[in-house]
Structure 1
Amino acid sequence: MRYVSVRAVLLPALTVAVLTPPAWADRPPPAPGPTPASPVPAVARTWPVGVHPLVLRGWEPPATVYGPGHRGVDLSAPAGAPVRAVAAGRVTFAGRVAGRGVVSVDLSGTDLRTTYEPVTPSVRKGDEVGPGDVVGTVERTGSHCGTATCVHWGLRRGGTYLNPLSLLPPWLLHRGPPRLLPVLEVPLPS
């Protein structure tokens, strides 16, 4: 009876396996740099508070992930004022975080999430909301706007903070009713 060394059988097989490049090795490396993010769709149909609230502090993106900045906008609102969902979505959180009431809504048909704080929630996790539906009321305490009460409105795509004002269509961003302007140098119909 003849015995074959394990080394004689396994060594050539291991050598072939180690030296043979895997199928993915022939693919070109990914392009350097960050992948461009898709634009934020203007899906909002209403402001979270009021008709056109005063923006007390705007969006100031941080230079680095953990750097200083303002990851949302602060909207002037009196305590007890209703806070509304800006677009249709599903409530993913309604509760307290660090002593403040917070409501988060995943916007339907997008990869975006809005947050509102400090808010006393009137919705629960899993609730479906439509544009303009009340999700809570502005809390008297917990505001970081100094002596004024405000609602901090945030927007995220995954872990990236975005400017929530970009959700608003241009006609909703401007103050006052729409106005029709005269069309010049066009003959009137006879």
Structure 2
Amino acid sequence: MKKWTTRGLIFSALFAAVMIALSYLKISLPFSTVPITMQTLAVMLAGSILGARYGTLAVLIVIGLAAAGFPVMGGSGGLAVLAGPTAGYIFSWPFVAWLIGFFAQRIKQDKYTFVKLLAANFIFGALLVYPGGVWWLAHSLGMDSLSKALTAGMWPFIPGDLTKAILCSAVVTAVWKVYPIDRILNSDTGVWADGEKSTISR
């Protein structure tokens, strides 16, 4: 099993802080209890930049703090948040971060890097979130039709999630040029931005 690294743990903590900060950037919708939030952008960034292991850890840190009662979900926290109408979305985030990170670690940097990142972030960071999120939303609020649940929990959010995936992919493409993902992972086969091969083991 690959070792945890100090660098990776520090970055996980930093991205957890970013995720908490971005949770305050939200817009409430009059027809839904699910707000538009930038927290999902932080999940995409964590997976894309930190990889599967450390990206997932960053998300789990935030969920753990929320469970402990800290106001890390846009000023709210506690078990009530993790059992509320948006819980289905929240508990999908670790899987989202892991899947995005898994594929990000295997993306070869070339002229299609942005497109590959966009596909991974939109498919796993947006579309994969909806089934569990919408199901739990409908269950917790007692919605009697799929149409109502989709209107309250999916359709209005697709354009915004696509925009977040585009923004994340653009940022990560730029970051990778100066700080490749292998530097986070301490890969002994990674090539750094200056072309020097890394000799640090994971």
What is the TM-score normalised by the length of structure 1? 0.22
From the two aligned structures, give the one with the greater helix fraction: 2
Larger Rg: 1
What is the TM-score normalised by the length of structure 2? 0.22
From the two aligned structures, give the one with the greater strand fraction: 1
